Amino acid sequence: MKGRPGASPTAPAIRMTKRPGHADIQRARWQLWAVTFAILGSLAVALVFLAGGQSAIRHNPLPQGTLRVALLGLIAAFVLYAIDRERHLRRLAERLTHEQVESTQLATRLRYLAELQRERDTSAALFDGAADGIVVVDAELRLLRFNGAMQALCGQTGSKVLGGLAPVVLHFESTDGTPLEGAEYPLAAVLADGMPRSMELLLFVPGGERRWVSGTFSPIRDPETGEAVLALGIVRDISQQKEIEQLQRDFVSIVSHELRAPLTAIKGFAKTLVVKDEELSPATRREFLSTVNEQAERLARLVDDLLQVSRIDAKRVRVEWSEVDVADVLRDLMGQFHSKWGARRVVVDVDRGLPVVRADRQKFEEILINLIDNAIKYSPESTPVRVSARVTGDELEIAVADRGFGIAPDDAAELFQKFQRITTPATRDIGGTGLGLYIVKGLVEAHGGRVWVESVPGAGSTFAFTMPRARAEALPEEMHA
């Protein structure tokens, strides 16, 4: 006979025994009652015969002995059947009780199994959902468990590496770059001496990248022998924390250098002015005083930049919106041009009829000053800097282009980060804190705009940003016409 589709051919045959139900017991009870009534009826007939029916018996054509034997035989048959039915009833009742006990035990077992399953699911979810990478290895360093976070950390898929050797899958290096192999391998060391350990490490990721991680490695012991039979590793990505630490170190070294340089100059020139006042010619005195003034401005600018950075970091840049005429701002800036940028040629290429932008005028100026400053700083003196503006949809695009040293494509994405400076042989001696472009980006974004760079190394760079155009309904009455 053909099996049910999908039924397993190897499934064991199940012996189906019919369980006694309440209907069976009821039926057996009725049978017992019927037999009892039959016995009682037979006894009554017998008594009638024996007590008052002597004459009837006498007139009966059957002999008296035969009648008695037949009657006794009938009663005996009824009694035997009644005993059998009673036993059958008891057996049924016993089986029913037994089955009830069994089914209660089965229900308890099923509940227990369901609870176990739930607990297993919970631990699997905890294991897989943990933010830290978790690995378990056996005494031979074979990977038994490898959770999702660990896969993300080392760029390897769990199903592919399970059963493989941990040192082949997870390459650890000490913080000075020494590979941790053999007895030095943290999981091997834990299995060897049974001592848990925590350390900062570098984890090698396929593709050559190294990631800062903190690892906690501990033994899992056999409950009977106490021997370390497995080892557990919990690995956390700390690259971001390391970046912040590096940033803080950069901050201290750059800011202290940038503070010290103008302070030293101010101190030196001021002291010379005080001590040798009489000996100095008026021209030298004026030159010294102007240097002191310049360096004090440099200091003030640094302090202003640091304050602006802290506002950008805290996302607390306050934009005082107004309608700003780009041509007007540039005219003002070019007015300060000579004192600020000396003899450099800055070409302004802005249409007169350009629409106004909605911006904070002072912050808009700060953005432009930073970009023009950079364009002048990072290009040869003989080359011009060009500032242009054009309308693109609802925005105005303002660009500052130079014909300077340019930026390599790999470096371009990082320039807008805090303290990011690129030192090439051409720019090595140019001072700066690496805060200018971070401030530019923070201020442009506070206006809802974007900033980007296009550059060809050796040929020049163009830094461009967008500012929202003032909406027609926001314009003063006379500008609607």
Ligand X SMILES: Nc1ncnc2c1ncn2[C@@H]1O[C@H](COP(=O)(O)OP(=O)(O)OP(=O)(O)O)[C@@H](O)[C@H]1O
CB 145 within 8 A of CB 136: yes
Binding site for Mg ion (CB under 5 A): 374, 436
Residue 177, C-beta contacts closer than 8 angstroms, at least 6 positions apart: 202
Among 433, 465, 467, 470, binds ligand X (CB under 6 A): 433
**DSSP assigned state of 469:** B
Residue 443's φ and ψ, nearest 5 degrees, are: -75, -40
Please calculate the CA angle 307-312-318 and round it to the nearest 5 degrees.
90
The listed partner (ligand X, Mg ion, none) that binds 179, CB under 5 to 8 Å by sort, is none
Among 53, 194, 355, 432, binds ligand X (CB under 6 A): 432
Please calculate the CA angle 380-381-386 and round it to the nearest 5 degrees.
85
Provide the minimum distance between the beta carbon of 319 and ligand X in the complex, in angstroms, as a whole number. 21
Question: Does 374 help bind ligand X (rule: CB under 6 A)?
Answer: yes
Among 171, 298, 403, 421, binds ligand X (CB under 6 A): 421
DSSP string, 48-106: HHHHT-HHHHHH-SS-HHHHHHHHHHHHHHHHHHHHHHHHHHHHHHHHHHHHHHHHHHH
- Tokens 């090439």 locate to 424
* Token duo for residue 439: 């401030």
CB 177 within 8 A of CB 202: yes
Which residue type does 449 have?
G
Question: Does 378 help bind ligand X (rule: CB under 6 A)?
Answer: yes
| Helical axes 282-313 vs 239-275, angle rounded to 10° | 160
The listed partner (Mg ion, ligand X, none) that binds 217, CB under 5 to 8 Å by sort, is none
Question: Does 341 help bind ligand X (rule: CB under 6 A)?
Answer: no
Question: Does 405 help bind ligand X (rule: CB under 6 A)?
Answer: yes
Provide the minimum distance between the beta carbon of 461 and ligand X in the complex, in angstroms, as a whole number. 4
Question: Does 437 help bind ligand X (rule: CB under 6 A)?
Answer: yes
The listed partner (Mg ion, ligand X, none) that binds 254, CB under 5 to 8 Å by sort, is none
Among 148, 158, 434, 468, binds ligand X (CB under 6 A): 434
Question: Does 312 help bind ligand X (rule: CB under 6 A)?
Answer: no
Question: Does 403 help bind ligand X (rule: CB under 6 A)?
Answer: no
Give the range of 91-99, 185-193, 280-288, 431-439 binding ligand X by CB under 6 A. 431-439
Provide the minimum distance between the beta carbon of 374 and ligand X in the complex, in angstroms, as a whole number. 3
CB 218 within 8 A of CB 136: no
Give the range of 268-276, 287-295, 321-329, 398-406 binding ligand X by CB under 6 A. 398-406
Task: Return d(Cα 358, Cα 214) in angstroms, integer.
Answer: 48
Among 461, 464, 467, 470, binds ligand X (CB under 6 A): 461
Which CB atom, from 217 or from 378, has the smaller least distance to Mg ion?
378
Under rule CB under 6 A, how many of the chain's residues touch ligand X? Answer: 20
Binding site for ligand X (CB under 6 A): 374-375, 378, 402, 404-405, 407, 415, 420-422, 427, 432-438, 461
